[in-house]
Structure 1
Amino acid sequence: MTSVKQFQVTFDCAEPQRLARFWSEALGYVRPDGSADDDSWSACVDPTGAGPRLFFQRVPEGKVVKNRLHLDVRVGTGLVGEERLAALEAECARLVPLGAARVRLLPADEENESCLVMQDIEGNEFCLD
C-alpha cells in the first residue's frame, strides 16, 4: 500500500492573487515562479518544504457559510495561560493590518487551551492556536 507523502490545501476564492499574497505574509511562505502570472489561480509554498503548498483558484460563487475545513496557525504551541494569550494577541495584531479580521477568542477550558478565531481577507475562518 502506498501512503501519501505530500498534499496541498486548495482555496476556492474570488481573488487568487490577493489571497495568495495574504497567506504568504501570514505564514512566511513564498510565491513560486509563475504563480503571479494568471488571474485565475495562484499558489504559495513553505520555503523550508515542511508545510503544504497552498493553491488558490478563482470560482464564480462567493463564500456563503462557515468553512468545513480551516487552518490552525500554530503560534502558541507549548504556551499556556497569559503567555499563550499574549502570543495569540501579538499574532492577531500582526495579521489585522494585512486584512485579517478578529472573530472571537475561545477561552481555555478543562480540555483545551485558548485559541483565537480569525478570518482572512475573503472571510475564510482560521484559528490562531
Structure 2
Amino acid sequence: MARDLQITFDCADPAGLAVFWAEALGYQVQGPPAGFESWEQALDAMGVPPERRNDASAVVDPDGAGPRLFFQRVPEGKQVKNRVHLDVRAAPGLQGDERMAALEAEADRLVAHGAKRLERFEPHPPLGAGHLVMADPEGNEFCLD
C-alpha cells in the first residue's frame, strides 16, 4: 500500500524557510484552515499567542502531486551535514553544457532568494550528468540535478 509522504525540516524560521522552498519548487504556502481568510485570523481564533505564530509552516504542491513540506521551529541550529537531502530536478532531459547552463541559471535564481552555492560537480559521462550542491537559507544542503 502506498503512503502519503511529508518531508519535515527542523529550522529557526519556519515562515521564511517555507517561502524559500515554495519559490524553489513552484509550491505555495499552505493556506489557512477552512472558514478562515488568513492564518492570522485562524491563529487568533485558536488562541495562539504572537510569540508562537512562527512555530510551524508548510508548503504544498499546487497540483497535489508532490509531497507536503513541513517546517517546525526548533531551538538548536543546524550543526552537521545532512544525511538526507533533496534533489531538485532543475534540468530534466538536458545533457552536457546545456544541462549545466540550466543548473547555473537555477542556482542564480535561488541565490537571489537566499540560497548559497556550495559546489559544482562536472559531468562525467556515461555515469555522471553533473550537478550543483546548494544550501537553503538555514544551511540545509540540496542538489540541483
Cα deviation 1:36-78 (Å, max 9, x = unaligned) = 5531000000001111000000011110000011110001111
Task: Look up the SS of the partner of 1:116 in the other structure.
Answer: strand
Root-mean-square deviation (CA, aligned residues, Å) is 1.3
Stretches of structure 2 lacking an aligned partner (at least 5 in a row): 34-38, 41-52
The residue identity in structure 2 corresponding to 1:90 is: A
* TM-score between the two structures when normalised by the length of structure 2: 0.83
Q: Give the deviation of 1:5 after TM superposition.
A: 3.0
Q: Residue 45 of structure 1 corresponds to which residue in structure 2? A: 60
Q: Residue 122 of structure 1 corresponds to which residue in structure 2? A: 138
Indicate yes or no: 2:96 matched with 1:96: no
Stretches of structure 1 lacking an aligned partner (at least 5 in a row): none
The whole-number CA distance in structure 2 between the counterparts of 1:5 and 1:48 is 18
**Alignment coverage as a number of residue pairs:** 127
Q: Residue 24 of structure 1 corresponds to which residue in structure 2? A: 22
* TM-score between the two structures when normalised by the length of structure 1: 0.93
The residue identity in structure 2 corresponding to 1:114 is: G
Percent identical across equivalent pairs?
58
